[in-house]
């Protein structure tokens, strides 16, 4: 497979603090690859090294076949990258169309080419009808779509999306997912960071989970879930936080693994319906929920803390 990004022993220190601690990974052409982890895990630092906002601290990083360690080939790489940042840095006083046309000039497009490219991208993100609206008049979801369009102005081979749906309502998130799926259908290579586990499961072909600067798990989403946790989780509410009542201990014995997280008892099981039925008998006043295991469950098992921690 055609490698687009390869990191070997990649490191980044800030003084005595090790942000990225010698990680190895490979991203291949045409896939959506995710970096997941809690705040401070090193995923954003890794992303910043990939889209050349931060120099490589140690090890090797190749992007589109070019070694970028030591600042080499930065200009060539940046011309082939599209970046959708977490923060909204659009020019609020310009119209949607003007934001794209001005950015297109940085890629050497003439006035006519810039207009054509802007029109094409506005159609792609379904904002042609808002082309002449000022950015400050748009909703948060629409602004995110403009950021995606701007990131595609240079027709990039690699698109980096840093927390692209943070703060959006569910409908706006789903709208952006559709645009990202469209990019995948066009054989774009995507790199994604997100705190939303459903987003990672929906979009990522493969991902790594980082914690304390290291990669602690990697693989396809469902593969990671099968490898690290049971197929289902039974959640039982607790009347007293962090305290399992005596009948609940029988339920723990029925599970492959159990954890207490504040006001919830989590039971990792394959026989979910049986455990739910027994929970209703033993703890009739407790709320009980049966759900499919998620990537967050994987992370809890590996690190003992949630992805927001």
Q: How confident is the model at residue 29 (pLDDT cuts 50, 70, 90)?
A: very high
Residue 127 near residue 96 (C-beta atoms within 8 A): yes
- Joined together, the tokens standing for residue 88 give 């909204």
Which tokens in the block code for residue 131? 């082309």
| Residue 132 to residue 307: CA distance in whole angstroms | 39
What domains are there in the chain, each with its CATH number? 230-292 (3.30.70.790)
**Average of pLDDT values for 25-34?**
96
Beta strand pairing call for 232-237 and 264-269: antiparallel
CA distance 269 to 277: 13
% of residues, the chain, pLDDT over 70: 98
Q: What is the pLDDT of residue 307?
A: 42
Residues 6+ apart with CB under 8 A from 20: 10, 11, 12, 42, 45, 46, 49, 57, 213
**Cα(56)–Cα(67) distance, rounded to whole angstroms?**
11
Which single residue is written with the structure tokens 């090797």?
60
Q: Sorting pLDDT into bands at 50, 70 and 90, what band is 308?
A: very low
The predicted pLDDT at position 305 comes to: 58
148 in Cβ contact with 176 (< 8 Å)? yes
If you average pLDDT over every residue of the chain, what do you get? 91
Helix axis angle for 272-282 and 246-254, nearest 10°, is 170
What's the maximum distance between 2 C-alpha atoms anywhere in the chain? 74
Other C-beta atoms closer than 10 Å to the C-beta of 143 total 20
Instruction: Using the predicted structure, report yes or no on whether residue 137 has a pLDDT greater than 60.
Output: yes
pLDDT value at position 82? 94
- The helices-and-strands tally (H runs, E runs) of the chain is 11, 14
Sorting pLDDT into bands at 50, 70 and 90, what band is 200?
A: very high
User: Helix, strand, or coil here: 35?
Assistant: strand
Q: Residue with structure tokens 């997280």?
A: 261
**pLDDT for residue 17 is more than 50:** yes
Asked if the model's pLDDT at residue 121 lies above 90, the reply is yes
Q: Does residue 159 surpass a pLDDT of 50?
A: yes
- Tell me: pLDDT of 109 over 70: yes
Tell me the pLDDT band of 176, cut-offs 50, 70 and 90: confident
- Structure letter (DSSP) for residue 66: E
pLDDT band at 1 (very low <50, low <70, confident <90, very high): low
pTM to 2 decimals? 0.87
State the average pLDDT over residues 69-88.
88
In 70-140, DSSP assigns E strands to 81-84
What is residue 186's three-state secondary structure?
Answer: coil
Rounded CA-CA distance 161/101 in Å is: 21
Q: In what order do the strands lie in the sheet with 214-219?
A: 81-84, 158-162, 189-193, 32-36, 206-211, 214-219
The 8-class DSSP code of residue 156 comes to: -
Q: Is the pLDDT score of 309 beyond 50? A: no
* In contact, 254 and 267? CB cutoff 8 Å: yes
User: Quick check: 124 and 182 in contact, CB under 8 A?
Assistant: yes
Section 56-64 average pLDDT:
96
Sorting pLDDT into bands at 50, 70 and 90, what band is 166?
confident
């Amino acid at each position: 497979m055609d490698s687009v990004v390869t990191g070997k022993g990649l490191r980044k220190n800030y003084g005595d603090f090790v942000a990225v601690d010698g990680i190895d990974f490979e991203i291949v052409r045409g896939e959506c690859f995710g970096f997941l982890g809690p705040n401070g895990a090193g995923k954003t630092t890794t992303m910043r090294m990939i889209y050349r906002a931060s120099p490589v601290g140690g090890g090797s990083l190749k992007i589109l076949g070019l070694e970028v360690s030591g600042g080499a080939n930065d200009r060539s790489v940046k011309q082939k990258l599209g970046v959708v940042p977490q923060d909204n840095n659009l020019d609020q006083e310009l119209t949607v169309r003007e934001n794209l046309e001005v950015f297109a000039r940085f890629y050497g497009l003439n006035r006519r080419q810039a207009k054509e490219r802007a029109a094409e991208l506005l159609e792609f993100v379904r904002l042609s009808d808002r082309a002449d609206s000022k950015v400050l008049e748009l909703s948060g979801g629409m602004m995110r779509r403009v950021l995606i369009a701007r990131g595609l102005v240079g027709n990039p081979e690699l698109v980096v999306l840093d927390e692209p749906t943070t703060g959006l309502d569910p409908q706006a998130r789903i709208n952006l997912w559709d645009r990202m799926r469209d990019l995948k259908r066009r054989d774009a290579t995507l790199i994604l960071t997100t705190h939303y586990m459903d987003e990672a499961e929906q979009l990522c072909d493969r991902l790594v989970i980082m914690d304390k600067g290291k990669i602690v798990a990697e693989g396809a989403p469902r593969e990671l879930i099968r490898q690290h946790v049971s197929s289902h989780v039974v959640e039982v509410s607790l009347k007293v936080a962090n305290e399992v009542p005596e009948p609940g201990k029988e339920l723990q014995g029925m599970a492959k693994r159990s954890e207490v997280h504040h006001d919830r008892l989590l039971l990792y099981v394959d026989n979910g319906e049986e455990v739910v039925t027994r929970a209703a008998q033993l703890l009739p006043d407790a709320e009980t929920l049966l759900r499919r295991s998620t990537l967050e469950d994987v992370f809890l098992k590996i690190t003992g803390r949630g992805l927001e921690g």
